[in-house]
């Protein structure tokens, strides 16, 4: 019997959307459980390290969003054909995570002075450093991040994009046609296309 | 023929030490190339994303320290017996990375006011949150992080420890006997014991 999957997260795309994309790509049913911001203190003590998303697989809990993605990617055949492909995917994924963390570090700063300072380095250094490199990488790999074929690195990037754009307050891919084209490719994939059409509408 | 490995990093333990531990555990020879801080601007442009360590495998570059660890862990049989073990290891590793990032975030802050503020939350919230949970996890898993057996999650944690203690400025494990015992277990492993005896002496 197929395992029963329950994904628990805030009612946003955020860190859970790449997981939802991967399940949808693989045609795997999952319960998309969303709790409201006010209910978080109620759920937090039941998570392994006070963080969400968590995924329950037949009741057994997995935590850490990237770990969950890699696990689901294995189930749906997007985790690389061999160790060498897997390592290339992992390196891209960790680099996307670094990029995301820098944007989050700016966005969630509650001190206006320090936030403004971070905004400067985000827009003058971080974004102009990472995005041209991502663009070049995808251009050199036949339209995908790794080895000219779809892997979970692509789904991870595209699944985060609304959240990243929301936090940055701009369309990050405006000047990057190859990355925009990768987005179209991923969003047109059977499964993901249906998911995007039916998912709850949220800004982030 | 066995691949030729070259690890490139600063002349410290830092992010490279768990990789050196994993190679040493597996009895795999590697070139431990260390450049001086002053030479970093010379090496930086040759790294995929301006970061180090990088690992060359027969001249092909892998970047991202955690990705490199997972790759070497696969070569030395510490990456888990199946998908479910791998996912548990990954979750622990990502959580150790979170913990490490919070300590780095404090340590590398160049603004004395903001650094002092971070120090407060590091010692009042972060450390007292993570370490008791790690202690409990290892206690509940027969002395290891995952499934009562040695995996790269253990080597990752112990390999970072000098660096973490250096940044925090304290002996983080003072109150955690189970974690100290895990340290002893890892540092006594054949291969790792020899590495620690012969490695360059550095504070961090």
Q: 0.90 exceeded by the pTM?
A: yes
Q: Which helix (H) or strand (E) holds B140?
A: helix B127-140
Across residues B104-129, what is the average pLDDT?
Answer: 95
Mean pLDDT rounded to a whole number for chain B: 97
* CA B153 to each of CA A100, A143, A168, B8: distance values in angstroms, whole numbers, following the listed order: 24, 34, 34, 22
- Among B51, B12, B4, which Cα is nearest to B30's? B4
Whole-angstrom Cα distance, residue A33 to residue A29?
12
Q: Residue A109 has what pLDDT?
A: 92
Q: Which helix (H) or strand (E) holds B33?
A: strand B31-34
The chain B residue lying nearest A64, using CA atoms, is B91
Whole-angstrom Cα distance, residue A155 to residue A145?
10
Whole-angstrom Cα distance, residue A25 to residue A194?
9
Given an 8 Å threshold on Cβ–Cβ distance, is A64 in contact with B94?
A: yes
* Residue positions counted in chain B: 204
Chain B residues within 8 A of A66 when measuring between CB atoms? 90, 94
**Tokens linked to B30:** 């590697």
- Is the Cβ–Cβ distance between B8 and B52 less than 8 Å? yes
DSSP character at residue B144: S
Chain A interface disruption, residue of B87, B136, B140, B156, most A CBs within 10 A: B87
pLDDT tens track, chain A, 204 positions: 789 999 999 999 999 999 999 999 999 999 999 999 999 999 999 999 999 999 999 999 999 999 999 999 999 999 999 999 999 999 999 999 999 999 999 999 998 998 999 999 999 999 999 999 999 999 999 999 999 999 999 999 999 999 999 999 999 999 999 999 999 999 999 999 999 999 999 999
For chain A, which residues lie within 8 Å of any Cβ of chain B, measuring from their own Cβ? 48-50, 62-64, 66-68, 70-71, 74, 83, 86-88, 90-91, 93-95, 98, 101, 114, 129-130, 133
* Upstream peptide bond of B53 is cis (omega within 30 degrees of 0): yes
Given an 8 Å threshold on Cβ–Cβ distance, is B67 in contact with A114?
A: no
Residue B55 backbone dihedrals phi, psi, to 5 degrees: -120, 130
Q: Residue A117 has what pLDDT?
A: 92
Instruction: Provide the terminal-to-terminal Cα distance of chain A, rounded to the nearest Å.
Output: 35
Q: Residue B1 has what pLDDT?
A: 79
Chain A residues within 8 A of B100 when measuring between CB atoms? none
User: Per-residue DSSP letters for A58-127?
Assistant: TTEEEE-HHHHHHHHHHHTT-S-SSHHHHHHHHHHHHHHHHHHHHHHHHHT---HHHHHHHHHHIIIIIH
In angstroms, what separates the C-alpha of B90 from chain A's closest C-alpha? 6
Determine what percent of chain B is predicted with pLDDT higher than 70.
Answer: 100
**Tokens linked to B186:** 């890892």
């Amino acid at each position: 019997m197929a395992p029963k999957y329950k994904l628990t997260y805030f009612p946003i795309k955020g860190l859970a959307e790449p997981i939802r994309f991967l399940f949808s790509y693989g045609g795997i049913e999952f319960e998309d459980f969303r709790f409201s911001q006010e209910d978080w203190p109620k759920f937090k003590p039941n998570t392994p390290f006070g963080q969400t998303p968590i995924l329950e697989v037949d009741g057994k809990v997995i935590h850490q969003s990237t770990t969950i993605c890699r696990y689901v990617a294995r189930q749906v055949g997007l985790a690389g054909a061999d160790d060498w492909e897997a390592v290339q995917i992992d390196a891209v994924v960790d680099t996307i995570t670094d990029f995301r963390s820098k944007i989050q570090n700016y966005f969630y700063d509650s001190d206006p002075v320090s936030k403004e300072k971070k905004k400067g380095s985000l827009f003058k250094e971080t974004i102009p450093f990472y995005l041209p490199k991502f663009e070049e990488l995808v251009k050199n790999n036949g339209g995908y991040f790794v080895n000219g074929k779809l892997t979970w690195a692509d789904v991870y990037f595209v699944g985060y994009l609304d959240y990243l754009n929301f936090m940055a307050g701009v369309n990050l891919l405006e000047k990057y046609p190859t990355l925009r084209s990768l987005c179209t490719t991923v969003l047109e994939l059977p499964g993901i296309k249906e998911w995007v059409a039916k998912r709850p509408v949220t800004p982030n």
